Amino acid sequence: MRRAVPRRTVLAGAGLAVAVAGCLYAAAGPTPQDGGGAPPGPDGAAVRPVSVSAAVVVDTGGRPPAPVLTGADLDGKPLSLTEYRGQVVVLNVWGSWCGPCRAEADDLERLSGQTRTQGVRFLGINTRDPDRAAARSFVRAHGLGFPSLHDPTGKLLLRFPPALLNPQTIPSTLVIDRRGRIAVSIGGAVTDEELRPLLLRVAEETA
């Protein structure tokens, strides 16, 4: 019997390659450097600020659970991913030193406000910012209303499956479904046009 080949769909004009039917696939694209002297990752490898996005959509039957994420926010207050169980969570990894993070921040804040009534919450992971003050300045500059875990060494990123979250690729965005499973992974800066249809697809699922 011939083995079925998973169907792959490319979203024209969105700069995203999407994998369906449980097959993981990431689009190749240029990865320009920010030039701002990004600090190394937790394993000493160079961090790449990436401005071209590539997305992976995980079939509902093969979604891995998101790891336990607990820590403190940018004001030092306790914050945990488990607080959002039962809601769709957009988890965005960013750093104040990252040019592509600045480029996507306004789109993320706008989408956060527009999807809140649909049970969607946004949560950031601020990484490689030893000083919380720099991260708070970034938040103020872009008017970000959603909280972020402070992860100065990048250790929280190592809890994720590396195929879905590369700790050396910043920014990165994950969509976590209402059951706490990783449904979408995006490496690189993402726009409203790219993220919205993927997010709404997960938000429309029944828990």
Say yes or no to pLDDT of 21 above 50: no
Asked whether residue 124 is assigned to any structural domain, the reply reads: yes
Say yes or no to pLDDT of 24 above 80: no
Spatial separation of the C-alpha atoms in residues 29 and 18, rounded to whole Å: 14
pLDDT of residue 38: 59
Asked whether residue 2 is assigned to any structural domain, the reply reads: no
pLDDT of residue 34: 43
Q: What's the pLDDT tens digit per position in 47-91?
A: 778 887 789 999 999 999 999 999 999 999 999 999 999 999 999
Q: What is the pLDDT confidence band of residue 12, given thresholds at 50, 70 and 90?
A: very low
pLDDT of residue 50: 84
Asked whether residue 190 is assigned to any structural domain, the reply reads: yes
Asked whether residue 19 is assigned to any structural domain, the reply reads: yes
For the chain, the average pLDDT equals 83
Residues in the chain: 207
Strands of the sheet containing 148-151, edge to edge, are 54-57, 182-187, 172-176, 88-94, 120-127, 148-151
Could you tell me the end-to-end alpha-carbon distance of the chain, in angstroms, rounded to an integer?
35
Say yes or no to pLDDT of 1 above 50: no
pLDDT of residue 36: 47
Structure tokens given for 96: 């104040």
Helix spans in the chain (H): 99-115, 132-142, 192-203
Q: What is the CATH number of the domain that holds 162?
A: 3.40.30.10
Asked whether residue 3 is assigned to any structural domain, the reply reads: no
Asked whether residue 189 is assigned to any structural domain, the reply reads: yes
Say yes or no to pLDDT of 122 above 90: yes
Asked whether residue 1 is assigned to any structural domain, the reply reads: no
* Distant-in-sequence, close-in-space partners of 205: CB < 8 Å, separation ≥ 6: 60, 177, 178
The 3-state secondary structure of 28-50, one letter per residue: CCCCCCCCCCCCCCCCCCCCEEC
What's the mean pLDDT in 150-174? 96
Whether the upstream peptide bond of residue 171 has omega within 30° of 0, thus cis, is: yes
Say yes or no to pLDDT of 129 above 70: yes
Of 5-14, 40-49, 71-80, the poorest mean pLDDT is in 5-14
pLDDT of residue 8: 31
What's the mean pLDDT in 188-202? 96
Asked whether residue 80 is assigned to any structural domain, the reply reads: yes
Full residue range of the structural domain in which residue 20 is found: 8-28+38-203
Spatial separation of the C-alpha atoms in residues 128 and 63, rounded to whole Å: 28
Q: Which is more confidently placed, 53 or 37? A: 53
Q: What is the pLDDT confidence band of residue 28, given thresholds at 50, 70 and 90?
A: very low
From the centroid of its chain, how far is CA 152? 17
Say yes or no to pLDDT of 25 above 70: no
Q: What is the pLDDT confidence band of residue 16, given thresholds at 50, 70 and 90?
A: very low
pLDDT of residue 133: 97
% of the chain exceeding 90 in pLDDT: 73
How many domains does the structure of the chain reveal?
1
